[in-house]
Amino acid sequence: MHKGIHDRGYLPHWDFEDSVQAITFRLGDALPTSVIEEWRRELAGSLGGSERHLSPRAQTDLHRRIARYEDAGHGSGVLAMHECAAIVQGLLLAGHDGAYKLIEWCIMPNHVHVLVRLTGEIALGQIVKGWKAPAAIQINRLLGRSGSLWLEDYHDRFIRDLDHFHNAVAYIRENPVKAGLCKTPAEWRFSSAGIGWGTGSSPHEGRTRAE
């Protein structure tokens, strides 16, 4: 069951059937929570708002800092291993046309971006858990390790309009290029661009796998 508008600690989140959501989840060692908390304190003091509810300008700055930190490749970066990235990509694809329709995704060395349209009654948090939990089990088994793999929480943004949608698509497709991991989006194997996923121009045009 979708949760509607709810608060997971900082900003309100929108979880409705037929909504389009941009989701990011990362490895547990990719970005320490203490770093984000320090940034929030700093930005609340300089750009307004509170640590719990930053001003829009401060929130934008925070997102930029997080993106730069992630793309610098901090942490173990186990998703750079093809076998690990393939596990995550397989789970994303397995759920397509079920509780959600995949629109775009990109599996970076220490984090994952996904753009989906929710089509069923399963809450967004449960969908993300359905990716992270089995991926952790399979990757830990592959690497001969145990313990937590992912940061417990995840980040999601409700796509407001068509401009926001196109910006999200471009960001996800260009992320490995901007991080210096490849020259074109299509060269990044573990992504929608890398497998030739469809090129729908609307968030309501369900994409299909390339033949």
Tens of pLDDT, residues 131-169: 999 999 999 999 999 999 998 888 898 998 999 999 999
18, 117 contact by CB (below 8 A): yes
Mark which of 49, 72, 95 sits at the end of a domain: 72
Question: Based on the number of CB atoms within 10 Å of its own CB, is 4 exposed (0-12), middle (13-18) or buried (19 or more)?
Answer: exposed
Domains in the chain: how many in total?
Answer: 2
In the listed set 14, 48, 72, which residue is the last one of a domain according to the structure? 72
Residue 13, pLDDT score = 60
Question: Do 192 and 113 fall within a single domain?
Answer: yes
Mean pLDDT computed over every residue of the chain? 86
In this predicted structure, what is the pLDDT of residue 7?
A: 54
What CATH number is given to the structural domain containing 177?
3.30.70.1290
pLDDT tens-digit map of 36-78:
888 888 888 887 777 677 788 888 888 888 888 888 878 889 9
Residue 67 confidence (pLDDT): 82
| Contacts by residues 117-122 (CB-CB < 8 Å, ≥ 24 positions apart) | 117/18, 117/19, 117/20, 117/21, 117/203, 117/204, 117/206, 118/2, 118/15, 118/16, 118/17, 118/18, 118/19, 118/20, 118/21, 119/17, 119/18, 120/17, 121/1, 121/2, 121/17, 122/1, 122/2
Residues 54, 109, single domain; the answer is: no
Range of the domain at 67: 32-72
145 with 67, same domain: the answer is no
